[in-house]
Amino acid sequence: MDQKGYVISGLSFLLIIPAIYMIAVFADMVHTGSQPQALMVQSDVVFSTSRDIERNLPILAKNTFQKTAWNVIRTGNPLQDSRMTVKDSLQRKIDDLTKKYHKEGINVTCKILSVDSGRDPFKVQVNSTISIVKGNVIHRENLSHDISIIDPNYPVPDPIPFIKCKNFGGITITGNRIIYGSSLVNFLKSRNVTNAEVYLNATSPLIIRECPYDPYETHGRSHILTNLKNCIDNGYFHESSDGACFLCRLEGRAECRHLGIEAFIIPALSTNDTLDYAPCSIDHVIFYDGYRGFGLIYSSNSTGLYKLYLDNGHRTKYGLPVV
Ligand SMILES: [Zn+2]
Ligand SMILES: [Zn+2]
């Protein structure tokens, strides 16, 4: 009995050692605890600040694309250096955003390093660097965003028709359509292009939106060209190696070395089904090369024919019959 009691008290003593050790550790934590806790609060603030800037930067950029394009449309004047203009304008918006943090004692700088065409023609690449200082916590981060130009919340208009037709008569906007009146005919005639008249009252899409008929050959897949007609009625844009990218469009260029976009320019309803050729109905061809396309009736009604003029290169791209 005595021996058993001795064993129990021995075990109790062994259990007491870790308990004493834990109390010592706890005492040490209480003693020095205030410093790491403050550091934790500071790094939480830094973390949420950097997330806030990362979240806001694409929104401010989309807003900048939109405003820059509308400014060009209003004046009809191309930008000298669209990348620089967009970069400076975005920097001003970012500076306004970071100012509010200075009031809270957080030193934030976000520098836009570059704005350029990306691998996806419906996106613009924005590179930036963020630096946040709060107390002893310093956070630096390099960011690269591929920012959409086709977000329906920030619709971006196509500036090129307004620049090209500025000196050739008025362009009007109706809903999502640009209506050329006689300006496109005047523009093409100034370049001595034959059969320019088919583009009297022609239209093209105003807002840049990506065509969902992908692969593009599906435009011509249905027998009565329903997909092509739907694409045209909706006013979609397509990826194009010849057509200019968004940033080059702001500079008044219809073609560029980047992967770009193209849209159909639609002649007004026609009553002439014998006209065989006219300038090709692709925007970068109309505004740059001016080469001819062959007539393709894609729809009709009692008042006339819906016609496009397309070369074999573009007919192949969109799965339409070649001639
Ligand atoms: Zn399409
Ligand atoms: Zn370009």
Ligand closest to 256 (CA) is 2
Averaged over successive runs of 10 residues, the pLDDT of the chain (323 residues) comes to 47 47 40 60 86 96 98 97 98 95 90 96 98 91 97 98 94 96 97 94 98 96 89 97 98 97 94 85 96 94 92 97 93
- Select from 125, 148, 171 the last residue of a domain: 148
One domain for residues 183 and 260: yes
Domain housing 247:
160-317
pLDDT number for residue 170: 80
154 within a domain of the structure (yes/no): no
CA of 95 to the centre of ligand 2 (A): 27
Across-strand partners of 96?
none
1 within a domain of the structure (yes/no): no
The C-alpha R_g of the chain, in whole angstroms, comes to: 31
One domain for residues 130 and 166: no
CA of 292 to the centre of ligand 1 (A): 20
CA of 259 to the centre of ligand 2 (A): 7
Question: What is the total count of domains within the chain?
Answer: 2
Ligand closest to 216 (CA) is 1
CA of 129 to the centre of ligand 2 (A): 24
Report the C-alpha gap between 319 and 321 in whole angstroms: 7
One domain for residues 138 and 202: no
Ligand closest to 320 (CA) is 1
2 within a domain of the structure (yes/no): no
**Pair of tokens at residue 143:** 């960011």
CA of 158 to the centre of ligand 2 (A): 14
One domain for residues 39 and 132: yes
Instruction: Quote the crossing angle between the two packed helices 2-32 and 34-75, to the nearest 10°.
Output: 40
6 within a domain of the structure (yes/no): no
One domain for residues 224 and 285: yes
pLDDT number for residue 35: 59
Q: What is the DSSP string of 159-182?
A: -HHHHHTTBTB--EEETTEEE-TT
One domain for residues 97 and 172: no
- Select from 115, 148, 181 the last residue of a domain: 148
One domain for residues 164 and 295: yes
95 within a domain of the structure (yes/no): yes
- Strand order of the β-sheet with 107-117 is 107-117, 123-134, 137-148
pLDDT number for residue 33: 44
Ligand closest to 253 (CA) is 2
